[in-house]
């Protein structure tokens, strides 16, 4: 498969047309049949692949940041009598297993972003289905706040994956039908086994769409509904947004380097060391001081988001991600306070929502996450969320700067200011063995002790998919443990105290640090990646189940499994048999 870049802009779109008319924007799907991301298939009938979804994700992001005046977004088709035929079947049939699953995951996250815009940004989405919407096309509509269907006796909505392809609606279709649109279970069962779907008034009666409109009244009704949504929107309607300039990074076979984020790719160890750099300067005095997308929280989040997508899609064999931070915790907390104090400002709200979505993307990534907290780290407030998201965390336990030396210390012990074994020297990325030309994050901090600090941002501002903060999820069912952390908000915690409070997993001293980290990474690399993915997806989301946790849990378990089965992906399975005139051959045993 081609190495995928997730960076694009409207001038490069091949599949979408974005127009803006005052408070209403229109995203018209106009897929280029010959514009597939990979070879071997044509994107007919507005079917889509990952390249189409990358453009959609970019458009949704730009509407939120660059167009605050937009209060309603209409998603429709630029083609006659077809809205979207869903994910391209030939693409799915020829794609590798991991490509299919990662494609479904990214598509889901983009749908969630649309719902987040409607719910939390006042930028409400309307699906105007001017033709048939099947599979992923209908699932795109399901992500919108309101669905209109042209009533012409032929245009329908359907989820035909089960009867036609032997798979499931992979971008949350089944869950959104029942949990969001409240379609009755027995009706949902019938609908999902009827490949031709439902049309007009019956689709309305079953709650699959909100409105069926005759074609003669279509254009004027769509315009009125969009204007009505805009009028009811809570969005402030600012006139000036900020431009999401292209991200600049240097990528080699061993490194990915942005301004605030860097990654070292250890192929032999099947791991990636990710370092996030805290801010160098102070936040502005007011939101008016955010002049561009270089504001630290936004710039860092954009880089981390892009890196997660890059590694998740292009580096599927690097199964362990080691998370580090560098910088001044005080400056991280100053940016957090600035955001907290100005949440009512539309741009600050968008930045916080974007950070929330990016951390959620990390949560649902099928990689082992290990946080290393060392001297010079800035795991505080919003950056502490990285450690709280990790499956396991190690915090280096070093004596206070004024502590007397331990008796019997070896004569060749490193001086106090020497780089720590296994730590991140100031002139190289994090993992050992970096070549001399490795890029470095500028200005690494040089604190003597590793500390973490809980801030207000950790107490519910950045919830997970389960609706809880990462701290509340960590201490789910342990009220005394959770209440104990309220007394230490804003205070530096060294390794021993952090471990006693349950905020880190292990606190090795400098004699054991290298060995424990090495063993943890080598052990992780020795396990079955499939079993690790299942394990991690199970325990990361303790507590209540939500529509999001259902979607990603079912994607991880059900769709991951189904995509591997011969009934779907085998040589005579439904994906390969579709369109050939041959019936698929099914293994009839239920498991």
DSSP H or E run through 257: strand 255-257
DSSP H or E run through 418: none
pLDDT band of residue 424 (cuts 50, 70, 90) is very low
Q: Is the pLDDT of residue 362 over 50?
A: yes
pLDDT: is 323 or 575 the higher one? 323
Contact, 169 vs 108, CB < 8 A?
Answer: no
Give me the pLDDT at residue 409, please: 40
Q: Is the pLDDT of residue 404 over 80?
A: no
Domains 10-232 and 250-401+421-536 agree in fold: yes
Give me the pLDDT at residue 1, please: 54
**How far is residue 355 from each of residues 207, 219, 279, 304, measured CA to CA in Å?**
33, 37, 15, 9
For residue 57, with 0-12 CB atoms within 10 Å meaning exposed, 13-18 middle and 19 or more buried, which class applies?
A: buried
Whole-model pTM: value is: 0.91
Q: What mean pLDDT comes out for the span 442-470? A: 85
Write down the mean pLDDT value for the chain.
Answer: 91
The pairing of beta strand 271-277 with beta strand 261-266: antiparallel
CA distance 589 to 573: 15
CA distance 450 to 377: 7
Torsional sign, CA 448, 452, 456, 462:
positive
Give me the pLDDT at residue 168, please: 87
Query: Which H, E and C letters describe 35-57, residue by residue?
Result: CCCCCCCCCHHHCECHHHHHHHH
Return all residues near 553 (Cβ < 8 A) that are at least 6 apart: 537, 541, 545
Q: Is the pLDDT of residue 406 over 50?
A: no
For residue 349, with 0-12 CB atoms within 10 Å meaning exposed, 13-18 middle and 19 or more buried, which class applies?
A: buried
Domain boundaries, the chain: 10-232, 250-401+421-536
pLDDT band of residue 411 (cuts 50, 70, 90) is very low
Q: Which of 54-68, 421-435, 487-501, 547-561 has the lowest mean pLDDT?
A: 421-435
Order across the sheet with 392-395: list the strands.
250-251, 255-257, 261-266, 271-277, 320-326, 368-373, 392-395
Could you tell me which of 295, 292, 312 has the C-alpha nearest to residue 6? 312
Give me the pLDDT at residue 465, please: 96
Q: Which of 26-35, 93-102, 174-183, 368-377 has the lowest mean pLDDT?
A: 93-102
CA distance 26 to 42: 25
Q: What mean pLDDT comes out for the span 491-505? A: 97
Q: Is the pLDDT of residue 494 over 50?
A: yes
Return all residues near 292 (Cβ < 8 A) that are at least 6 apart: 242, 243, 245
The pairing of beta strand 261-266 with beta strand 392-395: unpaired
| Bridge partner list, 275 | 262, 324
- Find the helix packing angle between 547-554 and 97-116, rounded to 10°: 170
Could you tell me which of 119, 118, 143 has the C-alpha nearest to residue 133? 143
Give me the pLDDT at residue 390, please: 98
CA distance 379 to 385: 8
Indicate the SS3 state at residue 100.
helix
Q: What mean pLDDT comes out for the span 535-561? A: 89
Joined together, the tokens standing for residue 357 give: 């979505």
Q: Render the burial of 321-345: b for 16+ CB within 10 Å, e for the rest.
A: bbbbbbbbbebbbbbbebbeebeeb
Return all residues near 129 (Cβ < 8 A) that are at least 6 apart: 76, 77, 83, 141, 147, 148, 149, 150, 155, 157, 209
The topology (CATH level 3) of 10-232 is 2-enoyl-CoA Hydratase; Chain A, domain 1 (3.90.226)
The topology (CATH level 3) of 250-401+421-536 is 2-enoyl-CoA Hydratase; Chain A, domain 1 (3.90.226)
CA distance 267 to 434: 12
């Amino acid at each position: 498969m081609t190495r995928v870049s997730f960076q694009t802009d409207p001038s490069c779109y091949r599949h979408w047309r974005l127009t803006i008319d005052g408070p209403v924007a229109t995203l018209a799907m106009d897929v280029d049949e010959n514009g597939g991301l990979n070879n071997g298939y044509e994107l007919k009938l507005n079917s889509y692949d990952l390249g189409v979804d990358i453009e959609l994700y970019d458009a949704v992001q730009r509407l939120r940041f660059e167009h605050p005046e937009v209060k309603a977004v209409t998603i429709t088709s630029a083609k006659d009598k077809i809205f979207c035929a869903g994910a391209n079947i030939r693409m799915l049939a020829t794609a590798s297993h991991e490509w299919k699953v990662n494609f479904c995951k990214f598509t889901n996250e983009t749908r969630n972003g649309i719902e987040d815009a409607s719910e939390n940004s006042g930028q409400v989405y309307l699906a105007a289905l001017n033709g048939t919407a099947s599979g992923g096309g209908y699932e795109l509509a399901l992500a919108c706040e309101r669905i209109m269907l042209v009533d012409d006796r032929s245009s329908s909505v359907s989820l035909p994956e089960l009867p036609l392809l032997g798979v499931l609606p992979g971008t949350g279709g089944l869950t959104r039908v029942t949990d969001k649109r409240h379609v009755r279970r027995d009706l949902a069962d019938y609908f999902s086994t009827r490949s031709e779907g439902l049309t007009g008034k019956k689709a309305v009666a079953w709650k699959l769409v909100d409105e069926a409109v005759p074609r003669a009244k279509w254009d004027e009704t769509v315009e009125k509904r969009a204007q009505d949504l805009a009028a009811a929107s809570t969005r402030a309607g600012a006139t000036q947004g900020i431009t999401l300039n292209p991200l600049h990074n240097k990528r080699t076979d061993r490194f990915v380097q942005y301004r605030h984020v860097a990654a070292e790719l250890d192929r032999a160890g099947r791991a990636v060391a990710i370092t996030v750099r805290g801010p160098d300067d102070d936040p502005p005095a007011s939101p008016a001081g955010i002049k561009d997308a270089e504001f630290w929280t936004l710039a860092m989040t954009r880089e981390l988001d892009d890196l997660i997508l890059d590694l998740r899609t292009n580096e599927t064999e690097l199964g362990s991600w080691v998370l580090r931070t560098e910088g001044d915790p005080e400056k991280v907390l100053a940016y957090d306070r600035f955001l907290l104090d100005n949440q009512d400002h539309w741009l600050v709200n968008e930045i916080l929502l974007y950070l929330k979505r990016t951390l959620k993307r990390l949560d649902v990534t099928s990689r082992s996450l290990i946080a290393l907290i060392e001297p010079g780290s800035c795991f505080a407030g919003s950056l502490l969320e990285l450690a709280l998201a990790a499956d396991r965390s190690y915090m280096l336990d070093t004596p206070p700067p004024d502590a007397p030396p331990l008796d019997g210390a070896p004569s060749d012990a490193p001086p106090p200011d020497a780089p720590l074994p296994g730590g991140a020297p100031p002139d190289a990325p994090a993992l050992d063995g970096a070549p001399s030309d490795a890029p470095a994050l500028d200005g690494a901090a040089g604190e003597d002790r590793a500390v973490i600090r809980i801030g207000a941002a950790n107490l519910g501002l950045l919830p997970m998919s389960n609706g809880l903060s990462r701290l509340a999820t960590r201490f789910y069912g342990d009220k005394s443990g959770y209440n104990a952390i309220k007394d230490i908000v804003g205070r530096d915690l060294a390794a021993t105290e952090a471990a006693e409070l349950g905020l880190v997993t292990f606190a090795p001293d400098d004699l054991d640090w290298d060995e424990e980290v090495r063993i943890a990474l080598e052990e992780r690399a020795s396990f079955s990646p499939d079993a690790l993915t299942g394990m991690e997806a199970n325990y990361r989301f303790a507590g209540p189940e939500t529509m999001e946790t259902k979607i990603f849990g079912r994607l991880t378990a059900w769709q991951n499994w189904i995509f591997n089965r011969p009934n779907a992906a085998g040589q005579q399975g439904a994906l390969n048999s579709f369109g050939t005139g041959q019936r698929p051959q099914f293994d009839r045993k239920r498991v």
